[in-house]
Structure 1
């Protein structure tokens, strides 16, 4: 009698939907690891419970640890009224300065 491989059993569980979910979860973890440079994890737990008539109830649980990108922070200052502002309210401003926008002409390639 030949043994049925784990891969064959895996594709039979929940009529193949477990295999599909594992495939999607693995791809999600791999892509996040590549994007963030951090470690991820995919864990499959299979529980087997014998029944009274010789049947086996197979239950599964998929857990993933998907790494996330590091979020940046903001630096702000509080005004005397308690409002937040992106510029230091104590900093003096220079009068007569103007913002110069981009020119409409195309840039030259060097």
Structure 2
């Protein structure tokens, strides 16, 4: 009877560090603060305009030359597309010389108008007979 023993493979569970912990440490915490502020501004603009917006986070990881590959630099870039409120529109008329005017140059100007006093409101209701 031959007995062979196979080495038992040790199962090592890889522990993945939470991404939120990285966000709080990157750039001395500035990345987390910036994302929090931009998200708040985005939500406010979306509620105000009723339009969609977005935030994008880009993380670049590069090895440092001459190291064993265990040392890297991490840089981040945050971009956001915040919806804007529409600016109010104005109506102008173009005169014969090509300039803009708030009044229609083809409309005659009415002069001699005066304000008329309004009659006092009746104090007692009238009855219909």
TM-score (norm 1): 0.80
Larger gyration radius, structure 1 or structure 2: 2
For structure 1, the 5+ residue unaligned runs are 101-110
Confirm or deny that 1:84 pairs with 2:100: yes
Which one has more relative contact order, counting CA pairs under 8 Å at least 6 apart? 1
Alignment of 1:83-102 (within 5 A): 83-98=99-114
Gaps of 5+ in 2: 1-13, 117-129
Q: 1:64 aligns with which of 80, 83, 87?
A: 80
Structure 1 residue runs of 4 or more that deviate by more than 6 Å after TM superposition = none
Indicate how the Cα distance of structure 1 residues 99 and 40 shifts in structure 2: closer, same or farther if over 3 A, else same.
Answer: farther
Between Structure 1 and Structure 2, the one with more helix by share is 1
Shift in alpha-carbon separation, 1:62–1:99, aligned structure 2, 3 A: farther
| Deviation of the 1:74 alpha carbon | 1.9
Structure 2: distance between partners of 1:33 and 1:58: 31
Partners of 1:9 and 1:18 in 2: CA distance? 9
Query: Aligned residue for 1:36?
Result: 49
The alignment's TM-score, normalised by the length of structure 2, stands at 0.69
Give the whole-Å Cα distance in 2 for the aligned partners of 1:22 and 1:40.
14
**When the two structures are aligned, how many residues end up with a matched partner?**
100
